[in-house]
Amino acid sequence: MRSIQFIANLPAPWRVAAIAFAGALLISALLLAAGFSPLQALFVLIEQSLGNGNGLSEVVVRSVPLTLAGLGIAVAFRARVFNVGADGQIIFGAIGFVGFSLALPGLSGWVLLPLSMVAAIVGGGLWGGIAGVLRARYNANEIIVTIMLTYVAFQALGWAIRGPLQESAQIFPRSDAVPDGVLLGTMIEGTRLHWGLAIALLAVAATYVALRYTSFGFRLDAVGENPLAARFSGIRDRTMIALSLTISGGLAGLAGAVEIAGVHGRLQDAFAEGTGITAIAVALLARLNPLFIPLTALMFAVLSVGASGLQRQLGIPFPLVHIVEAIVILAFVIAGALQNADRGVRDA
Amino acid sequence: MGPARDAGAPLLELRGITKCFGRLTANDDISLRVSRGEVVGLLGENGAGKSTLMNVLSGLIQPDQGDISLTGKAVSFASPRDAVAAGIGMVHQHFMLVPTLSVIENIALGDRSLRLFPLDLSGIRDRLAKVSNQVGLEVDPDATVGRLGIGEQQRVEIARVLCHDARILILDEPTAVLTPEESTQLFEAVRSMAAAGTSVILISHKLDDIFGICSRVAVLRQGRKVLDAPLDETDRDALVHAMVGDTVSAPHGERVSPPGPPIVTVKDLRLKRDNGATLIDDLNVEVRAGEILGVAGIEGNGQRELAECIAGLRRPDAGEISYDGEPIYGSMTPRRLRQMGLRHITEDRHGTGILPDQPLSENHLLGHIRNPRFNRRSWLQRHAAKEATASIIDQYDVRAAGADAPMGSLSGGNQQKAVLGRELADGIRFLIAAHPTRGLDIRTIAFIQRQLLELRDAGVGILLISSDLNEIWRLSDTILVFGGGNAFGPVSAETTSLPEVGAWMAGHQ
Ligand SMILES: Nc1ncnc2c1ncn2[C@@H]1O[C@H](COP(=O)(O)OP(=O)(O)OP(=O)(O)O)[C@@H](O)[C@H]1O
Ligand SMILES: [Mg+2]
């Protein structure tokens, strides 16, 4: 407690530095204890993600779903609603996308792709909306509800790719490949960089404008800051809360669709594992500002791509890699929170 | 008169305290001495710097210059904790309780002597029982704070500070939310504490408070101390003059035109408390255009609930309320009512009236988000909101750095002025005004009361809820009294008298 107090009393930049230092120490200790060199790990992490063209394009590809899901989380957070279930909404977005495009394979890609994207948004939006309605109507804690719904989504995915959506060959637990028409082609030849990046950037712009310049964004913020004051001014606070989770889920659903259409081409197990959780850190570190979200998404993409290099290059076991990743994310979140802690309270 | 001023080093001495917020100097070289057992009144207009000075003393903010000494020894407080440890306790103007916790838990918060494992609240419970007994402040230790009325919450705050053995007790506008009886009780308590050696600094806008219990009074004006004298060497006129540099006369409501058709009609209204007890029974009343209906009575007798029913925020248990002849419950929403000109100055400004972290202009938007002037096909018109805010700042003399200043950075009274400006702007036809002048200085009170009368003359219907009987009496055309589970009236102000209304308030028929 004392040391936290001490850190909290430092000026903001020092606080962040202190957290970064503590995080680095902890990671080094862990790696040393497991018999790996922290410096070498750091080198590999950077080299694998930023040190070559392949790694770089991989980083951008990874940042796309993080950006979309991060936007969704930011929208809900603006209304002080904590959507920790983006992973489930991503899954339902992907199921909507794959299910829809496989059901209507005859349509041309120009029609089918946008329609399937809409199906994904509806899928994710429904999954978020359930939590939203439960929170708005029955005051059910959205953190618990979204987590539980994520477990349900994981099971639903497992069932879908072993049941109704399983490939025609019925060998692997995965769906058939989606029609070529709905695949997002590569943006730059010779890389895996796909047009999902453009979709993500469009979504960034749209979310920014909606939050900053429209009455919707204002009402969302008002409900977030003081729901009763909003209600007394004629804003339907409960509706806004339900809506915020629905939109949040819709954006996560879009992330799922883009991941399928740009990377995997079909539904399979664990196709975007952990995206929804990392996206929370993405949104928080961007201080819920849509314009910063692609940047923080890139940072976490570097971490995630580099970390998988640790396993390949150094043979660091995956659990340890995940722990390292988690420590970095936590350090960022704490640093972000401490940065905000400067704003004082005032009585009168 | 208060207890004797005794000799020797003062218990507390503030020297040359200066505090700036940006370009604004909230405290400008202020010095103040407080002796043991002394009750010092601190007066000044809204935004004069009273709360700021006391926040410095209680460790909530750090001064830019100046120092504090206790019994001759220099001290400095990095946080409220340090100040509490030194025996300085403050009851803030805006309460700092955790609404989801019980009274006893709130009092236990921040108590370092408390044993946590296993948690033992019985010591605090005893202490609470003792102080609330001594002081005559009745509080239910197990009630959830968020469910208490605002006056009750205040009692909890005071009880909390008393439980922590304060040598110096700072009360920031404690009587603003208390009933006259509660104020009397509080003053009894303050007197007995002072007799036992506790010093008290009391901030108030009510001269009666100052003359009731203080032995010395200091007046701040625009951040400077302009007067500091034993009470028996000054008088009301001198204090008012020191505060506002002028004399203030209360407005009187000679009406110019008869009221128009009813705007709000309440028929056979019945309301129950959460626990099922009857709060309002078969109330029939109407408010006409160009009429002020004053609702007098001790707080917590259904006034707030009545206001919320009319605002479309709380469904009555029985009966009907209509606005412009249309039943409110059925087809109308709070949003629609607002568009039809209903405005609401709520009694709990922080809880239901403002967005404290947002600038004044965004707070203005909050009240007018459906107005096409600020919302053109869903696109916010922020520049229009800034203009509107700037003119309110001007018109209502809101002391703020500008339309971009966060609402929470304003002094309590200035927040109230900003809220009033927002609610009275643009197309008002009916106003629910719950304690509209609470926490305001005398000049601003006169200004607001004049505004209400002008609105009335312009044909606005007003439901005025106030626990200040004089305010009700001066402004109302019709009076309704809530008390002890009953409503008396409505009666025309012409056919009754002030003492009669006072007797109803006290529960005598
Ligand atoms: N944290 C802050 N940031 C910016 N300005 C502030 C801050 N705190 C106080 N002020 C300004 O300092 C001035 C003095 O405020 P203060 O709260 O001390 O007034 P007050 O005398 O208590 O008034 P009231 O009677 O209305 O409560 C006001 O103009 C207020 O806007
Ligand atoms: Mg004040």
Residue-wise pLDDT for A256-299, tens only, equals 999 999 999 999 998 988 899 999 989 988 989 999 999 999 99
Average pLDDT for chain A: 90
CA distance B493 to B303: 19
Handedness of CA B149, B155, B158, B159 (dihedral sign): negative
CA distance A33 to B43: 65
Q: What is the pLDDT of residue B132?
A: 77
> Do the Cβ atoms of A175 and A103 come closer than 8 Å?
no
- How many A from CA of B157 to the centre of ligand 2? 16
Which of A13-22, B298-307, B321-330, B394-403 is the least confident region? A13-22
CA distances from A71 to A66, A137, A279, B215 (A): 8, 25, 8, 60
Q: Is the CB of B47 under 6 A from ligand 1?
A: yes
**A222, A177, A293: which is closest to A79 by C-alpha?**
A222
CATH topology of domain B12-244: Rossmann fold (3.40.50)
- The torsion region of residue B295 among left (phi > 0), alpha (psi -120 to 50) and beta comes to beta
Number of residues in chain A: 348
Is the predicted pLDDT of residue B441 greater than 70, yes or no? Answer: yes
Burial class (CB in 10 A: 0-12, 13-18, 19+), A202: exposed
All residues of chain A having their beta carbon less than 8 Å from the beta carbon of residue B339 are 234
**B266, B276, B278, B254: which is closest to B308 by C-alpha?**
B266
- How many A from CA of B203 to the centre of ligand 2? 8
Listed in order, the ranges of chain B carrying CATH 3.40.50.300 are 12-244, 260-341+428-509
| Subunit contact A234:B346, Cβ cutoff 8 A | no
User: Could you confirm whether domain B260-341+428-509 is CATH 3.60.15.10?
Assistant: no
CA distances from B207 to A14, A110, B192, B297, B441 (A): 49, 77, 21, 22, 10
Is the predicted pLDDT of residue A302 greater than 80, yes or no? Answer: yes
Average pLDDT for chain B: 86
Which of A64-78, A224-238, B87-101 is the least confident region? B87-101
| Subunit contact B366:A348, Cβ cutoff 8 A | no
- Among the partner-chain residues B313, B336, B380, the one whose CB lies closest to the CB of A218 is B380
A151: its two tokens:
């477990």
User: B291 versus B483: which is more confidently predicted?
Assistant: B291
> Do the Cβ atoms of A240 and B335 come closer than 8 Å?
no
The pLDDT confidence band at residue A169, using thresholds 50, 70 and 90, is: very high
All residues of chain A having their beta carbon less than 8 Å from the beta carbon of residue B344 are 232
pLDDT tens-place string over residues A113-165:
999 999 999 999 999 999 999 999 999 999 999 999 999 999 999 999 999 99
| Strands B278-288 vs B262-272: parallel, antiparallel or unpaired | antiparallel
- Whether chain A has a CB inside 8 Å of the CB on B94: the answer is yes
Mean pLDDT of B82-107: 84
The pLDDT confidence band at residue B5, using thresholds 50, 70 and 90, is: very low
Residue whose structure tokens are 């980083």: A59
Q: What is the pLDDT of residue A343?
A: 42
Mean pLDDT of B254-269: 88
Return the amino acid letter for B319.
Answer: G
| Subunit contact B375:A219, Cβ cutoff 8 A | no
All residues of chain B having their beta carbon less than 8 Å from the beta carbon of residue A80 are none
- Whether chain A has a CB inside 8 Å of the CB on B136: the answer is no
CA distance B150 to B347: 9
Other CB atoms closer than 10 Å to residue A75's CB: what's the count? 30
Q: What is the pLDDT of residue A4?
A: 54
Q: pTM to 2 decimals?
A: 0.85
Q: Considering only CA atoms, which residue is closest to atom 1 of ligand 1?
A: B409
Residue whose structure tokens are 């993500």: A200
- How many A from CA of B501 to the centre of ligand 1? 37
The pLDDT confidence band at residue A210, using thresholds 50, 70 and 90, is: very high
Q: What is the pLDDT of residue A316?
A: 87
All residues of chain B having their beta carbon less than 8 Å from the beta carbon of residue A227 are none
Q: What is the pLDDT of residue B489?
A: 77
User: What atom in ligand 1 is closest to the CA of residue B439?
Assistant: 25
All residues of chain A having their beta carbon less than 8 Å from the beta carbon of residue B51 are 347-348
Mutate to test the interface with A, among B338, B355, B438, B440 (most CBs of A within 10 A): B355
Q: Is the CB of B393 under 6 A from ligand 1?
A: no
**B505, B11, B39, B446: which is closest to B244 by C-alpha?**
B446
- Rounded to the nearest angstrom, the gap between the alpha carbon of residue A72 and the centroid of all alpha carbons in its chain is 8
Q: What is the pLDDT of residue A84?
A: 95
Q: What is the pLDDT of residue A69?
A: 98
* φ, ψ at B29 (rounded to 5°): 55, 55
pLDDT tens-place string over residues B213-253:
999 999 999 899 999 999 888 888 888 888 887 766 777 76
**B50, B54, B91, B40: which is closest to B214 by C-alpha?**
B40
> Dmax of chain B from CA atoms?
71
B408: its two tokens:
């929470």
Is the predicted pLDDT of residue B79 greater than 90, yes or no? Answer: no
Mean pLDDT of A105-116: 91
Is the predicted pLDDT of residue A14 greater than 90, yes or no? Answer: no
- The torsion region of residue B222 among left (phi > 0), alpha (psi -120 to 50) and beta comes to left
Mutate to test the interface with A, among B354, B364, B369, B398 (most CBs of A within 10 A): B369
pLDDT tens-place string over residues A236-268:
999 999 999 999 999 999 999 999 999 999 999
Q: What is the pLDDT of residue B459?
A: 92
The string of DSSP codes covering B270-328 is EEE-TTS-EEEEEEEEEEETT-EEEEEE-TTSSHHHHHHHHTTSS--SEEEEEETTEEH
CA distance A145 to A76: 14
- Smallest CA–CA distance from A224 into chain B, residue: B355
The pLDDT confidence band at residue A348, using thresholds 50, 70 and 90, is: very low
- Whether chain A has a CB inside 8 Å of the CB on B96: the answer is yes
CA distance B140 to B133: 12
Residue whose structure tokens are 């203080």: B214
Q: Is the CB of A348 under 6 A from ligand 1?
A: yes
pLDDT tens-place string over residues A181-198:
999 988 888 888 999 999
- How many A from CA of B48 to the centre of ligand 2? 8
